Amino acid sequence: MILDILKSDDGKKAISAANKSIMNGDVGANALSGQSQIKLLSANESLQLQMAVKDVLTAKENNQFLQEMMKDPKFAGDFAKAIQKDTKQMFKDLLKDPEYQKSLVDTMKNPEYEKMTLDIMKTAPYRQQMMTVMEDSIQSPLFRAHLVDLLKAAISQQSKSDQMPSAKQEQKKSDSGSSGGGGGSDKKEDSSKQDSSKKKDDSSSSQ
């Protein structure tokens, strides 16, 4: 019977009116009385109510009715807040699902999706939003400290890269100097040998 009532036009109107009453903050005696009645429902009646609400939300014939309700900004906002926690947890669980991960990756690889994303990134509102995000991030002390650390690491890496060619040149000069020194010592040894031979020849001729 509850299902039939909720599916009827009067039932839909009652749900819509109740939602508007809640959104407008009308929590008078009637509202409190309704809440008390809901709390006093038996387990069986609560289950029937859950099934009725599910049928109302999922039935194809109610799509137009729900779309009209969602056009109300306040209702849509309150509805989103009410299910925000569950929705967030649902997405976390989905991200752990291999099948969902594969579907998500396939969607991102789709050329149409890529083109749509690039088109969005080229729009002025998107760029303005990115500028706002960057400005907000720069205002964060933690982000600033992290940025300074990144800059220091980049400067240190660049300095090491610049010093490497100089070190190689110094090594080459050192190697060439050692080779030259070795050649000089060889020449001295040859000269000493020649002098020794000459002295021997002179002593032989004097005898």
Q: Render pLDDT for 9-57 as a digit per residue (tens, 0 to 9).
A: 666 666 666 655 545 544 444 444 444 444 545 566 667 777 777 777 7
Residue 182, amino acid: G
Quote the Cα angle for 165-171-174, to 5°. 145
* pLDDT for res 77: 83
pTM (whole model) above 0.75: no
* pLDDT for res 139: 85
**Burial class of residue 6 (count of CB atoms within 10 Å of its CB; 0-12, 13-18, 19+):** buried
* pLDDT for res 35: 47
Rounded to whole angstroms, the Cα distance separating 88 from 92 reads 6
* pLDDT for res 55: 76
> What residues of the chain score a pLDDT lower than 70?
1-46, 164-207
Backbone angles phi, psi at 60, to 5 degrees: -65, -35
* pLDDT for res 124: 92
Rounded to whole angstroms, the Cα distance separating 34 from 28 reads 10
Residue ranges of the domains in the chain? 111-156
